[in-house]
Chain A
Amino acid sequence: MWHSKRARRIAFAIFWYVLLGTTAVIVMLPYIWMISTSLKGPGEIFTYPPKLIPRAWRFQNYVEAWNAAPFGRYFFNSALVALVVTIGQLITCSLAAFAFARMEFKGKNVMFALFLSTTMISTQVTLVPSYLVLKALNWLDTYQALIVPFLANAFGVFMMRQYFMTLPRELEDAAKLDGCGRLRFLWQIVLPLSKPIIASQALFAFMSNWNAYLWPLIVTTSEHMRTLQIGLRYFVSQEGGTQWGLFMAATVFVSLPIVIFYLIVQKSFIEGIATTGIKGA
């Protein structure tokens, strides 16, 4: 019977599930280890051999970690910055994308090349002068410093432009007949038709700002301006590197929101990456 096609297919399926299942468990192991440690007391953490399932579940770790540093404030900062940047980017990107997609103007190609060139220049390269600009503006350690430099995004412009170009030309003619100005046309007709691209653009902007590290690290100096990522790092390094139960509990609540967010919107997120190659962070 082994030689029948059906049997071969079943054997292949079993092999496939075992192989992918094993790799999936290996991939998930660091997460499992994080959660396991976050529930252990000091006595259990520092014993060999370590157990994956804690003997006594110590949820107190979460409370203690939360109170050991101003994590509430960090959450607020991260959420505020990511939200404002996302909304701001959607505005600047849709305006520029509209010009590139639906308008004829002098110097369009030059402008397009200029926008394209910004994608080759990374934060790492402009770090020092950008920092000096903020210093000159007296913006260091403020929300402006975390928000303003990210209010434009060429990738977002290109993604939206591609989408706007697919909308039928006749829309404009009808709008012009009704005496509808460009801004109103963009706001009332183009944007409502572009919900999928707005959603994926918002997603990328939010994720990459929520996870940002280098920039918030250099422009924030006081504790109450830190974002979650920076706060987590200082929490771990300042506690002397021994409170692993608390560190892992903190890492759980730092990474959890974005994981939940991802699980909800993963379909459009993965499609977005597959078609554009862009991801956050």
Chain B
Amino acid sequence: MRKEEERRRSWWHQWGEETFAAYLFLLPSLVIFAVFVFFPLFFSFYASLTRWNLPFKPSFIGPGNYRYLFTDPIGASEFRRSIWNSFYYALGVPLNMAISLAVALLLNQKLRGVSLFRTAYFLPTITSTAAISVIWLWIYHPADYGLLNSILMRLGLSPLRWLRDPHLAMPALILMGVWHGMGYNIVIFLAGLQAIPTHLYEAAEIDGAGSWARFWKITWPLLGPTTFYVLVIGIINSLKAFTQMHVMTEGGPLGATTTITYYLYQQAFENFAMGRASAVACVLFVLLFVLTLIQFKVVGSRIHYE
């Protein structure tokens, strides 16, 4: 009897107490995650199966919202366009990467003033998207006194309508996005470049390899994981983009910049169709989930291994 009690006490002492304490330490985070991450996630699945137009109560309708998004003549065309627009916006990612890598290569030199340039390139990244969007709203002003138009006119070209032109609005947002996101990519690329051992370059130089060959034979393959990481994160962030659309175009003109996140926002907070919005959220979740899994699989989580 006493032995049993002793055993129990020592179990409590060795495992029970520490386990109990550990969960107390995790508790604050767990509560927040439970209420604002896990519950909403499962609730989204449920809500996506209801017709729920605020301020009315939800009613269960099964896969009706998904049918609307994928087969309804109006719904499907809007939804397909929003997904198309999101991936169109993501075309800025490779463009951004090419420029960022070029700048990172330039910055990866032992010359004076490197940090000054790095500061300049990084400034747009820390400025809020809302502020950036207001500045570019003015740069893209369709009158002749808009900065970009005045440059075009000085070059002898005619002014453009930029954000008010359905064909130009998205390219305009992409251009701004490249400018905004460059600094982040440059920093990541620089870290990747600096991790490449210098003796490889020295050996290649002895073998008479030119700088072009050195880039394609050493830098590019060894930078592979970094490049892939930047690509996937860039696409994920493109799918999440919202602020610039809300400040600059409100999804227009003619829905040309209504991306999937913006479409979700419209359904939920302009039409108050919570069920339909939840169905969009579930599709977005699957897209983001797949992308994140790809990133974890190929590069590994940077959190885990670095």
Chain A: CB-nearest residue to B37: A118
Question: Do B117 and A111 touch across chains, with their CB atoms under 8 A apart?
Answer: no
Does B150 reach chain A (CB closer than 8 Å)? Answer: yes
Within 8 A of B (CB), among A221-266: 229-230, 232-233, 236, 244, 247-248, 250-251, 254-255, 258-259, 262-263, 266
Which of A33, A45, A214 touches B243 (beta carbons < 8 Å)? A214
Does A1 reach chain B (CB closer than 8 Å)? Answer: no
Interface string of A4-34 (1 = CB under 8 A from B): 0000000001001101100110011011011
Q: Taking each of A19, A104, A125, A269, which has the highest tally of chain B beta carbons within 10 Å of its own beta carbon?
A: A125
Question: Do B121 and A27 touch across chains, with their CB atoms under 8 A apart?
Answer: yes
Question: Do B131 and A232 touch across chains, with their CB atoms under 8 A apart?
Answer: yes
Interface string of A116-127 (1 = CB under 8 A from B): 101111101111
Query: How many positions in chain B have a CB within 8 Å of any CB in the partner chain?
Result: 94
Complexed CA–CA distance, A33 and B132 (Å): 12
Question: Do B127 and A128 touch across chains, with their CB atoms under 8 A apart?
Answer: no
Which of B23, B28, B229 touches A105 (beta carbons < 8 Å)? B23
Complexed CA–CA distance, A13 and B125 (Å): 27
Which residues of chain A are near B154, meaning CB under 8 Å?
A: 49
Which of B19, B129, B190 touches A213 (beta carbons < 8 Å)? B129
Which residues of chain A are near B139, meaning CB under 8 Å?
A: 30, 33
Which residues of chain B are near A119, meaning CB under 8 Å?
A: 292, 303
Does A180 reach chain B (CB closer than 8 Å)? Answer: no
Does B165 reach chain A (CB closer than 8 Å)? Answer: no
Complexed CA–CA distance, A263 and B257 (Å): 34
- Closest beta carbon of chain B to A225's beta carbon, Å: 16
Within 8 A of A (CB), among B93-144: 103, 106-107, 109, 111, 113, 117-139, 141, 143-144
Does A106 reach chain B (CB closer than 8 Å)? Answer: yes
Which residues of chain A are near B121, meaning CB under 8 Å?
A: 23-24, 27
Question: Do B127 and A255 touch across chains, with their CB atoms under 8 A apart?
Answer: yes
Question: Do B303 and A274 touch across chains, with their CB atoms under 8 A apart?
Answer: no
- Closest beta carbon of chain A to B114's beta carbon, Å: 9
- Closest beta carbon of chain B to A4's beta carbon, Å: 18
Which residues of chain B are near A207, meaning CB under 8 Å?
A: 126
Does A191 reach chain B (CB closer than 8 Å)? Answer: no
Within 8 A of B (CB), among A158-214: 158-159, 162, 182, 207, 210-211, 213-214
Within 8 A of A (CB), among B177-214: 179, 182, 184, 187-188, 190-191
Known: A96-B25, A99-B22, A229-B131. A247 touches B188 (CB 8 A): no
Within 8 A of A (CB), among B259-301: 261, 264-265, 268-269, 274, 277-278, 281-282, 284-285, 288-289, 292, 301
Which of B22, B261, B289 touches A108 (beta carbons < 8 Å)? B22
Question: Do A279 and B29 touch across chains, with their CB atoms under 8 A apart?
Answer: no
Which residues of chain A are near B269, meaning CB under 8 Å?
A: 218
Does A87 reach chain B (CB closer than 8 Å)? Answer: no
Chain A interface residues toward B at CB < 8 A: 13, 16-17, 19-20, 23-24, 27-28, 30-31, 33-34, 37, 45-50, 91-93, 95-96, 98-99, 103-108, 111, 114-116, 118-122, 124-133, 148-149, 151-152, 154-155, 157-159, 162, 182, 207, 210-211, 213-214, 217-218, 229-230, 232-233, 236, 244, 247-248, 250-251, 254-255, 258-259, 262-263, 266, 269-270, 273-277, 279-281
Chain B interface residues toward A at CB < 8 A: 15, 18-19, 21-23, 25-26, 28-33, 35-41, 43-44, 47, 103, 106-107, 109, 111, 113, 117-139, 141, 143-145, 147, 150, 153-154, 179, 182, 184, 187-188, 190-191, 229, 233, 240, 242-243, 246-247, 261, 264-265, 268-269, 274, 277-278, 281-282, 284-285, 288-289, 292, 301-303, 306
Taking A28-B120, A93-B29, A125-B284 as known contacts, 13 extra A-B pairs with beta carbons closer than 8 A to each other, sorted by chain A number, are: A27-B120, A30-B124, A34-B135, A92-B32, A99-B23, A114-B33, A126-B281, A128-B264, A133-B39, A250-B134, A251-B131, A254-B131, A276-B302
